Chain A
């Protein structure tokens, strides 16, 4: 139950929250960062729930949770930097975009899907948004077959139906990447 190496114990000064991943690993996180996860926020909004309670996140793996926490921590820092100054805002926005690009760049397709599941379950709107855009960029020029494999979907068209649907929009199939 040791803390993940990327999640050092925060200073005594701030309030912290404990989050438990599906494998039982506990992450201790600053309150401001934990509240980025709407699911966690709702958990504490209920009356009578003390901040000492460990939040069980049964659907999130520890790998995914570690990355989510890392992202949210940076996002909170960047948000604190921006204010009324347009120049500072612009810089913060660029940094955030860099952070997002960095997060998805090295991820495999499986890794991104896992992050999406986590961001969806934890209800982190901004994170879900850029992850979905990243997936969109990866698949937009791919073939229909590739997309079926990616999302693990069954082709329930009859051969004639599929042929007909394709012919309706033959022009959309120009320029498809090889799988």
Chain B
């Protein structure tokens, strides 16, 4: 009986290995190095990671730790409770290993760019999209793969700032048909009022360039208010989702809706909100994913939160189901996200809290940072960017080995 395993078996084994092991095993032989770097294996590895329930995605958590002047990115097991910060004293010696209560339950990632404040756009299909700064309209974006410690800069977009006050919204997603990652940017000119559609452009990893999107964009603003500016765009089923309010204009009534942009067809669409919330004025919506389902959390002008709604059947507005009410009391500025455990992560006075819906108890996690940078998303390990040439993010040198 031969000791040699056939190629098909070797590929089956490699496809199931974690990224770190595969990177290491590129040193086994020349054949293995090219096999592991092959687009075929990279795609199969990703497909398995995305579809196999044995590999649930990690929670990716980001915040700006002003105390230690650091950008922090961590990966958490989705099954564990969100950890508390152990070092609670100001000026206490920073101990990386013991930073959270569960040192083995999270992995601290190396930020791709130490010197700049980064905000998360969103993460999907093994790649993370970050923007430099926040609401300052810096037109710098980074595609980052923490599994292989590689990041590339996205070139500056075409629709620029000039002197016109602009508002832009972003969405990052994966086009599975063409195996391409795309960043879409909607640019609104504040000067011309509420009823003009935005200019839309899109960057794709395969072309390395920005180009205009010609499909008609809805003629209203995506999520105007203070709160929902902090909603990350939600990527699900091939589409990016944002909250918007259709204007009271030319006979139409105001409606709360979800605007979608498909990464494959690069076209806009609209999805209905829960019926009872559709026509309610002055509601702000946090749009997110809860256990893989599209979810919205409305909030009124008074700072209290309402109930969480989840769309049980994607694309079917009748399937919107009210889950639970969030009773935290006053003072909580924003919701950051929902963990698989059912915990709700929120901020109050620049600190993070965890809220448990059944007991209605809040727990101070002792994690402090600028409110606007807290972000939670999911992440799947991958090899994306392995074969892409290094594009020094911010011209500070790439973030692969040695940093």
**Residues of A at under 8 Å CB distance from B?**
61, 110, 113-114, 116-117, 120, 128-129, 132-133, 135-136, 139-141, 144, 147-148, 151-157, 162, 165-173, 176
**If A157-B29, A157-B30 touch, does A117 touch B17 (CB 8 Å cutoff)?**
no
Contact A165/B26 with A136-B13, A136-B16, A172-B20 known, Cβ cut-off 8 Å? yes
A148 and B26 contact, Cβ closer than 8 Å, known pairs A120-B8, A136-B16, A141-B21: no
Whose C-beta in chain A lies nearest to the C-beta of B21?
Answer: A140
Whether B24 lies near A172 (C-beta < 8 A) is yes
- Which B residues have a C-beta under 8 Å from some C-beta of A? 1-6, 8-10, 12-18, 20-21, 23-33, 54, 148-149, 400-402
CB-CB nearest in chain B for A60 = B1
Q: Is the interface of A mostly helix, strand, loop or mixed?
A: helix
User: What are 15 pairs between A and B in contact, CB < 8 Å?
Assistant: A113-B5, A120-B8, A132-B15, A135-B13, A136-B13, A136-B21, A139-B13, A139-B17, A140-B18, A141-B21, A153-B28, A156-B31, A165-B27, A166-B27, A172-B24
Cα A147 to Cα B36 in complex, Å, equals: 14
Q: Inside 8 A of B148's CB, which chain A residues have their CB? A: 169
Let me know if A153 and B17 touch, CB within 8 A: no
Chain A positions within 8 Å of B21 at CB level? 136, 139-141, 172
Chain B residue numbers with a CB within 8 Å of A113 are 3, 5
**Top 7 A-B pairs, shortest CB-CB distance:** A132-B12, A140-B21, A172-B24, A172-B23, A132-B13, A136-B16, A169-B23
- A147-B28 contact in complex given A135-B13, A169-B400, A171-B149, C-beta closer than 8 Å: yes
How many A-B residue pairs have C-beta atoms within 8 angstroms? Tell me.
90
A168 touches B5 (CB 8 A): no
Q: Which of B3, B16, B20, B27 is the one whose CB lies under 8 Å from A157?
A: B27
A170 (CB) vs chain B CBs: closest residue: B401
Give Cα distance in the complex from A132 to B172, angstroms: 34
Q: In the complex, how many angstroms separate the beta carbon of A17 from the nearest chain B beta carbon?
A: 24
Question: B1 to chain A: which residues have CB within 8 Å?
Answer: 61, 114, 117
A129 to B9, CA, bound (A): 9
Given A113-B5, A132-B16, A136-B16, the answer on whether A144 and B23 have CB atoms closer than 8 Å is: no
Contact of A136 among B4, B17, B29 (CB under 8 A): B17
A160 smallest CB distance to B (angstroms): 13
Residues of chain B contacted by A176 (CB below 8 angstroms): 24
Contact check, B5 vs A117: say whether CB atoms are below 8 A apart. Answer: yes
- Point out the residues of chain A lying under 8 angstroms from B12, CB to CB: 128-129, 132
Complex Cα spacing A66 to B20, Å: 36
Please name all residues of chain B whose beta carbon is closer than 8 Å to the beta carbon of A157 when the two chains form the complex: 27, 29-30
B27 touches A144 (CB 8 A): yes
